[in-house]
Chain A
């Protein structure tokens, strides 16, 4: 599995824990995509996956706690054209990789609202890896190689 430590740290950003702060993260990633010349598929996969992961963190990571949110995002350039984004937060423990695939509903009446974010991340990414280190969730998103 490609890990960030096998590559070069390109950029980091600290973001707030409100829904509107997600725009800061996706804007930062879009600028990196332009600067680094990522293929459209890499950009879309990482932007979508970062948004899905960050939406979970800001929606549920700090609910019912009085801890001061700390959310940091790192972008790593890996060998063989891969790009990794790592999301580090001090919210409650949450492992998105443990979420079961939603059942594909037969009708709109049966369709459940929610649960599709992790499904999309699994599809568009090569690697979705989680670990808990101390008080931090660490979620690594690796895009499929270009081409």
Chain B
């Protein structure tokens, strides 16, 4: 898994590449939560480079999403590959996050 961070206006864009699986979920969650705590704007997680996600990866996004919602900040997802989108749809996560 690889994460690139870019400031776009008031938002931080995180370009994630690789697998959001169980072994990678904790480092992914830590990276997300670091950005949540170190910035005060919105966060966009670009998943174009992610070709695999399991429930552990969903969990990491949910933890960050709850923290952002609690702080009244926006966390959006973008560029989901079709199989990744299916995982989000089945789990109901498509309705919990803004997806662009």
Interface residues of A (CB under 8 A from B): 19-20, 22-23, 26, 40, 44, 47-48, 51-52, 54-55, 102, 104-105, 107-109, 111, 113-114, 116-117, 119-120, 123
Contacts and interface: CB of A to CB of B under 8 A. Distances in A.
Interface of B (DSSP majority class) = helix
A121 B87 CA distance: 10
B39 interface: no
B72 to A, nearest CB: 12
Interface stretch (B4-12, B30-38, B88-96): B88-96
Contacts of A19: 22-23
B92 to A, nearest CB: 4
A64 B87 CA distance: 32
Contact of A109 (B66, B83, B91): B66
Contact of A48 (B23, B54, B62): B54
Given A19-B23, A51-B54, A55-B54, A113 B92 contact: no
B52 A108 contact: no
A70 B88 CA distance: 33
A104 B63 contact: no
B66 A116 contact: no
A123 B96 CA distance: 19
Nearest to A41: B83
Contacts of A47: 52
A120 B54 contact: yes
A22 B63 contact: no
A108 B97 contact: yes
A39 to B, nearest CB: 12
Contacts of B23: 19-20, 22-23
Contacts, number: 64
Contacts of A109: 66, 69
B97 A51 contact: no
A49 to B, nearest CB: 9
B56 interface: yes
Contacts of A44: 52, 83
A91 B86 CA distance: 31
Given A44-B83, A105-B92, A108-B97, A51 B62 contact: no
Given A20-B23, A22-B22, A107-B96, A120 B65 contact: no
A20 B22 CA distance: 8
